Amino acid sequence: MFLKRSFFFLCALVFLQATELFGQACEDAMSNYMCADQPQQVDSLNPSTPFFNNCMNVSSTVWYSFHTNTLETGSIDIAVDFVDCDYTTAGDNDFIYATVFELIDGFDPCISFASYNWPCAGDDQSFVYTMPSDSIQPDTDYIVVIGSNHDTIYGPCAFDVTISGSSLDIVARVEPLSVSLGQSAHLIVDGTEGPVQWTPGQYLDDPTSLNPEVFAEETSSFQVSGQVGNCDLTDVVSLTVGTPIEIYTAFSPNSDGVNDVWNIGDIERFPTCQIEVFDRWGQSVFKSVGYKQPWNGTYKDRYLPTASYYYVIELNSLEVTIPPILGTVSIVH
């Protein structure tokens, strides 16, 4: 009876000690953050924090945590790159294992049973642990455990750990992708609930909004900075700004009723515009303030010959500053 009680007491003591070590490592992990594409350099595993679950039983570990973004779907990879983890003078490597498990509200994550059924990966060479997509939840904390049975008498067990994947980043986009000058678009950032900061901000109605309206005067790129968990992240998106008018590059003034004049789409939006056309010698052959009457390809009431002609269009917008539009138009007979 005494031996049986002693055995149970010893088992309970071992379990309490293991749980205490596990709990301490779990608490440390919450201040050891992993951010996307920022390698963590490990010089040596901690021999005082063993770990076990259904597929991993190691004597030394290092612990991390990360937080997923607010996107409903995505991916996560954890790459372990060997630097030096030799267990013999022959240069062979010990196995290194990795596992990830979720921190669930209301359930103590700092007991080994919390992670028991989560899968592992491991190798004696560099490897990548890919989280099953159905186990990745948005806006959620996770624990990463990297471990090995490496014996420190053979030196350090050094490696790099890098986390990456679409579940960790913020994603900037613009709708629509392109606008005409004078039109607005909306910048959008997904993956974070804020706060965010867009730069440059002079074209935006609110540079701190998740969905600001943008009135750009030229094709521009915008960078957004935000956070996922404790990680500072950025992304960049471009908005293409085109001319607010559609300029046809050729017409055929031959009085057949088809394409007889030089049409300029949406030019009526700019009633004070000035349009001037030159021949190849720089002589002005057409000039108009406003464009109520499209050019019919004549100069002094005579049709000009087949050739390319150079134009300068000043829209004189009252809303935005638009530089002169230069180009060529061809007359084809």
Do 246-331 and 171-242 fall under one CATH topology? yes
Predicted local confidence at residue 276, as pLDDT: 98
Name which residue leads in pLDDT, 72 or 104.
Answer: 72
Residue 143: name the closest of 21, 231, 28, 48 by CA.
28
CATH architecture for residues 2-164: Sandwich (2.60)
The average pLDDT across 210-214 equals: 97
What pTM was estimated for this model as a whole? 0.72
Segments making up each domain of the chain, as ranges: 2-164, 171-242, 246-331
Fold that domain 246-331 belongs to in CATH: Immunoglobulin-like (2.60.40)
Beta strands in 73-177 (DSSP E): 77-84, 96-102, 120-123, 127-130, 141-148, 158-164, 171-175
Q: Which helix (H) or strand (E) holds 224?
A: strand 220-228
Predicted local confidence at residue 115, as pLDDT: 65
Predicted local confidence at residue 157, as pLDDT: 86
Q: pLDDT per residue over 10-28, tens digit each?
A: 333 333 333 444 455 566 7
Q: Is the dihedral of CA 263, 269, 274, 280 positive or negative?
A: negative
Predicted local confidence at residue 137, as pLDDT: 94
CB atoms within 10 A of CB 309: 20
144: Cα separation from own chain's centroid: 23
Question: Phi and psi (nearest 5°) for 25?
Answer: -65, -40
Q: Determine the CATH number of domain 171-242.
A: 2.60.40.10
For the chain, how big is the Rg over CA atoms in Å?
34
DSSP code string of 268-286: GG-TT-EEEEE-TTS-EEE
CB atoms within 10 A of CB 6: 10
The residue assigned the tokens 């950032």 is 189
The average pLDDT across 181-204 equals: 93
In the predicted structure, residue 234 carries a pLDDT above the cut 60: yes
CB atoms within 10 A of CB 13: 10
Q: pLDDT per residue over 298-320, tens digit each?
A: 999 999 999 999 999 999 987 77
